[in-house]
Amino acid sequence: MKIELICTGSELLSGKLNTNATYIGLRLFNIGLELSYITNIGDKKQDLVKHFNVAFVRSNIIVITGGLGPTFDDITVEAVAKCLGLPVYYDEKVLKSIQEYFVKKSILKIPKINERQANIISGAKVLENRLGTAPGQMLHFEFKSNGKKYRKVLFLLPGPPREMKPIFEENVEPFLKSYSSVIRKNFSLRIFGLSESAVAEAIEPVIEKVKFENPQAVKFGILTSDSIVDIKFAVSGIDELVVDSLIKNLNLRFGEVLKDNIFGYNDDSLASAVGKLLIQRKKTISFAESCTGGKIASAITDIADSSLYFKTSVVAYSNESKFKILGVKKETLKEFGAVSEEIAKEMARGILSLSESDCAFSVTGISGPGGGSKDKPIGLVYVGFADNKKTESFKFNFIGTRKVIKDKAVNMVLDLLRKKLLKNDLKE
C-alpha cells in the first residue's frame, strides 16, 4: 500500500519549513506505516491538477494539506474536483459551523470570503475543524487511467498545523491503523558529556549484537545538537510485550556502556533531569549569570514546578552589577579580569549568600564575536560553584557562534549540577 502526502502552498517553495510532513511522517511511522512520496507544490492550478493526476494513479491513499482557506490562492478543492470530474456543492451545515466559529470570536457577521470554505466535493465526508474555519474532507473514489480503474482514498486537511493535527489524529490516523498489524515504538536516549563519535564507538557492540539477534526489529540513528547526543531507535513487532521487553533490554545495555552520561529519555532536557534530582534530594539552587544572559534561569523555569527548587537568578552582565549585587571585589577584577576562575568563584559565593539556597552556580565568559584575545579567546568560559562547605571553578573552551557558545555553557552548567546531585556531592 502506498501512502502519498501532498503539501500545497507556494510558501513551501520559498524556504518555509514543512512541519506538516515531519509530523505526518512520524505519526505514520509510529503505527507501522510510512510515506511513499512527499511533495511540496505551489498554488498554481495547472500544477496542482497535473500532480494530483499522477498521485491518484500511483498511490492508494492520498493526504493533501493546505489550500482550504478562503482566499483566491486556496484552490485545492477546485483542483481535486476537476481531476475527479466531480461537482462541488454548498454545505449549509458547514456554513453554520463557520458562522458559529466567528460568533465565538465575537465577530457577528461572517466575512463573505469565508463562505467559500463551505464548498464540499460531492461524496466526501466532512471532517470537523474545531480550531478553524476550513473543514477537512474524506473521499472514497474510483480513478480511471489508461482504461483501468483504481480504488482510492483521499483526505483533504487544512494547512495550519494547529488545525491539521487534531483532524489527522481523530480521523486519518484511526482509519490508517486498520491497514497495519505492526506495533512500532520510538525511543530516544539523551546523552551529554561525550562526543557523537565517542557515543557511536561505545554503543557499536550493543548495536551489532541486537542486529544479529533481531535483524528486522530495530532501527538505530544518532543525532547531535548543542553537544547533546540522541540515540534514537525504533522497535517493531506484532506483540507489544515483546516490543516493550526489547526496548527495556536496549536501555539496560546502553546504560552499561554510557553510564551517567545518559541524562534522560525521549523529551527529557537537562533542565528537567536536574529538576527531578533537586526535588528528590530536597535541594535548592540559584544562579549568577554573565555571558549566558539569563538563559540558565530560563531553562530551569521552563520546567513545571521549578518553584520547588529554584530560588533566584541574577544577570550580572556589567562589572558594576557584579560589585553592587554579588559583592565581587574590585581588586579581584582588576588583578584577574571579569573572565576568570577567581571572579566565577566570587560570583557563586555572592549569589549563594544573597539567595540562601543550598548551592549556586555562576558563569562568566567571552561569547564573541569580539572581545577575545590570545590569553582569553572567544569561547573561554569559567563556571563557579558554591555550597555551604566549598567553592570550585571549572574552565571550558567552547567553539561556535555567540549563540552556540551560550547554549553550550548553559548545558554544561546544568550537567555539572546534575552530576553533583547524582553523587550527592552537595553539603548541608
Instruction: Going residue by residue through the chain, which has 428 residues, state the pLDDT in tens, using 9 for 90 and above.
Output: 899 999 999 999 988 999 999 999 989 988 888 999 999 999 999 999 999 999 998 999 999 999 999 999 899 999 999 999 999 999 999 999 999 999 888 887 888 899 999 999 999 999 999 999 999 999 999 877 778 887 899 999 999 999 999 999 999 999 998 888 788 888 999 999 999 999 999 999 999 998 888 877 898 999 998 789 999 998 988 888 999 999 999 999 999 999 999 999 999 999 999 999 999 999 999 999 999 999 999 999 999 999 999 999 999 999 999 999 999 999 999 999 999 999 999 999 999 999 999 999 999 999 999 888 999 999 999 999 999 999 999 999 999 999 999 999 999 999 999 999 999 877 65
The two beta strands, 285-289 and 262-265, are unpaired
Of 409, 129, 132, nearest to 295 by C-alpha is 409
Q: Answer positive or negative: Cα dihedral of 55, 56, 57, 58.
A: positive
The pLDDT of residue 401: 95
Residues 6+ apart with CB under 8 A from 123: 86, 139, 140, 141
Task: HSE, CB side, 13 Å, CA atoms: give it for residue 422.
Answer: 14
Which domains, from first to last, does the chain contain? 3-177 (3.40.980.10), 183-265 (3.30.70.600), 270-422 (3.90.950.20)
> In this predicted model, what pLDDT tens digit does every residue of 335-385 receive, in sequence order?
999 999 999 999 999 999 999 999 999 999 999 998 889 999 999 999 999
Q: Answer positive or negative: Cα dihedral of 222, 225, 230, 233.
A: negative
CB distance 362 to 325 below 8 Å? no
> In this predicted model, what pLDDT tens digit does every residue of 82-125 receive, in sequence order?
999 999 999 999 999 999 999 888 887 888 899 999 999 999 99
CB distance 66 to 76 below 8 Å? yes
Q: Chain centroid to CA 266: how far?
A: 10
Contacts 24+ apart (CB under 8 A), 176-182: 176/3, 176/28, 176/31, 176/33, 176/61, 177/31, 179/1, 179/33, 180/31, 180/32, 180/33, 181/32, 181/238, 182/31, 182/32, 182/236, 182/237, 182/238
CB distance 157 to 172 below 8 Å? yes
What is the per-residue DSSP string for 195-210? -HHHHHHHHHHHHHHH
Question: Residue 116 corresponds to which amino acid?
Answer: R
3-state SS assignment for residue 44: coil
Q: What is the dihedral of CA 16, 17, 23, 28, to 10 degrees?
A: 90
Q: Decide: residue 56, CB within 10 A, 0-12 exposed, 13-18 middle, 19+ buried.
A: buried
Q: Answer positive or negative: Cα dihedral of 257, 263, 264, 269.
A: negative
Tell me 70's DSSP state.
S
Of 61, 22, 253, 20, nearest to 159 by C-alpha is 20
Complete edge-to-edge strand list for the sheet that includes strand 228-237: 218-225, 228-237, 183-192, 262-265
Q: What CA–CA distance (Å, rounded) separates 237 from 184?
A: 7
Q: What CA–CA distance (Å, rounded) separates 395 from 382?
A: 5
Question: Residue 277 corresponds to which amino acid?
Answer: L
